[in-house]
A and B are shown apart, each in its own frame.
Chain A
Amino acid sequence: MKQFLLLFLFVPLFSQEEDLLDLLNDEEIKTEFVQASFKGTRVVNAQSIEIPKPKILQFMIQHRFGSIENGFYDLFGTDYASIRYDLHYGYSDKISFGAGRSSYNKIYDIFFKTKLLRQSSGKSSLPITIVLYNSIGINSQKKAENDIAIKENFANRILYINQIIIGRKFNRKLSLEVLPTYIHRNLVPKKSDSHSLISFGFAGRYKLSNRVSLNLDYFLPIGERADLFNHGTGIGIDYETGGHVFQIMISTSQGPYEYTFIENSTGSFNSSTLYLGFNISRAFTLGSNKKEEW
């Protein structure tokens, strides 16, 4: 009987040849926020769900050429240029703001981009990211004698862009988002035109490799528009190096500002009046993550 019990006593010793790693895996899972749903803060023309990292100032140049329809005569529109550049500062993981200027209609704009919810996994998981984008644009074109409305009142120069961007990174490669958009313009071209414009945007990216991705965006207007209205559509490729992101695209719009590419796209895929363009963004680090250990 004793011997039997002694034998029993050794059994646990044998069973303890367990993998030491198993001891480490009983830890509580932490909440992890999903990173890098898109490479840049823009998909093609549309805003992505990304904002600059905290304490990073991003300088972005958005360059659009003329229409490609004349082919080699003006080298696919590269004789002409429309440019927007902006500075965009990441204040925290959730808040960013910036200001920019477009040469198209000479619009100055200030904007806020705020992450309301962030996609996460682990302890508290959330399937989507929700970002709010608010921008005020000021048309700074000269007062023209024949354009009495602008002349009369400064408020006539102002337009408001409001977007809710709902996005999800489905896997390493695929990220999609929808962008319900509300634009209010204080001045309308014709009396019968509406001041408030609603549209619904779709955008997505698919990573072809770690550094290259294919991007698409499209805006569907809701409600009445003028006859000549073209839908804002863009297709582009991202190429990322260390601190730069290059985006090369072809789109139906010559201006990279929301009001221009959503409501004033002049090109169409049918008539090959499309616009080549590129975005370059450069991140400047203004501070560093505070850590005692550094």
Chain B
Amino acid sequence: MFIMKRLLILFIISMSYGEDIYLTRQGIVEFFSSTPIEDIKAYNNQVSCVLNYESGKFAFQVPIKGFMFKNGLMQEHFNENYLESDIYPKSIFKGMINNWDSLAINDSTLNIRLVGELTIHGVTKTIEQNATIWRKNGNLVGKCKFIISLEDYDVKIPKIVRQNIAELIEINVNVNLSKR
């Protein structure tokens, strides 16, 4: 009976806590567009990210309306004309970290490879990206930098502003995940 009780308690604990989940809702995504005429950058600190520490699976969720521009008019056009955030309010990156089981995460930066599906503007592409991860005060810190082509995600730039907006956009991701 004693064992059964113990098992029951264990069972309840495993139900309520589940696996090791690391999570943030204040992740940061920045992007840069650079052309000889104009540099555009935007900043979003409402990015959610979740990592299953057991399986190495992760998911990012980026609210498009959370991108802040220096110029309010640019922000409006970004939402209205380019990313069409009324129709596609979120970008999602979902996948897993390669060779998760053989990785040992500690205080020094560790290079990892992310494989997953990136959805922007309603278009989903499978991508592979390098990233780094390390431990800091019990949290997991992740960084990733990559470049996407607007054409791949069906974001159309009219001729008249083609000189102002770059074809390739650089994206920086910074997250600090704490254990749930």
* A interface, CB within 8 angstroms of B: 1-2, 5-6, 8-9, 12-13, 16, 19-21, 23-24, 27, 32, 35-36, 53-56, 90, 172, 210-211, 240-243, 283, 285, 288-289, 291, 293-294
Q: Are A242 and B18 in contact (CB under 8 A)?
A: no
User: From residue B84, how far is it (CB to closest CB) to chain A in Å?
Assistant: 8
Given A1-B4, A12-B15, A36-B80, A53:B73 Cβ within 8 A? yes
Question: 26 A-B pairs, CB-CB below 8 angstroms?
Answer: A2-B4, A2-B7, A13-B14, A20-B59, A21-B59, A21-B92, A21-B94, A23-B21, A23-B23, A23-B59, A24-B48, A35-B76, A36-B76, A36-B80, A53-B72, A53-B76, A54-B72, A56-B71, A210-B80, A210-B84, A242-B161, A283-B73, A285-B70, A289-B69, A291-B68, A291-B70
List the 3 closest pairs (A to B, CB-CB), nearest first. A53-B72, A288-B70, A20-B59
Does B68 lie within 8 Å of A289, measured CB to CB? Answer: yes
User: Whole-angstrom distance from the CB of B81 to the nearest CB of chain A?
Assistant: 4
Instruction: Assign chain B's interface to a size class.
Output: 35 or more
Q: Which chain A positions have C-beta within 8 A of B153? A: none
Q: Which B60-109 residues have a C-beta within 8 angstroms of A? A: 61, 65, 68-73, 76-77, 79-81, 84, 86-87, 92, 94
- Residues of chain B within 8 A of A53, CB atoms compared: 71-73, 76
Are A16 and B70 in contact (CB-based, < 8 A)? no
Inter-chain contacts of A283 with B (CB < 8 A)? 73
CB closest chain-A residue, reference B51: A20
- Majority SS at the chain A contact face: loop
Chain B residues within 8 Å of A1, by CB: 4
- Whether A20 pairs with B72 at a CB distance below 8 angstroms is no
Residues of chain A within 8 A of B10, CB atoms compared: 9
Chain A min CB distance to B117 (Å): 12
Give the shortest distance, in Å, between A284 (CB) and chain B (any CB): 10
A16 vs B86: C-alpha distance in the bound complex, in angstroms?
32
Least CB distance from A237 to B in Å reads 16
The residue on A at minimum CB distance from B19 is A16
B52 touches which of A20, A24, A241, A289 (Cβ 8 Å): A20
> Is the Cβ of B25 less than 8 Å from the Cβ of A27?
yes
A289-B69, A293-B43 are known contacts; what are 11 more A-B pairs with Cβ within 8 Å?
A2-B4, A20-B58, A23-B50, A24-B61, A36-B80, A53-B71, A90-B72, A241-B161, A283-B73, A285-B73, A293-B45
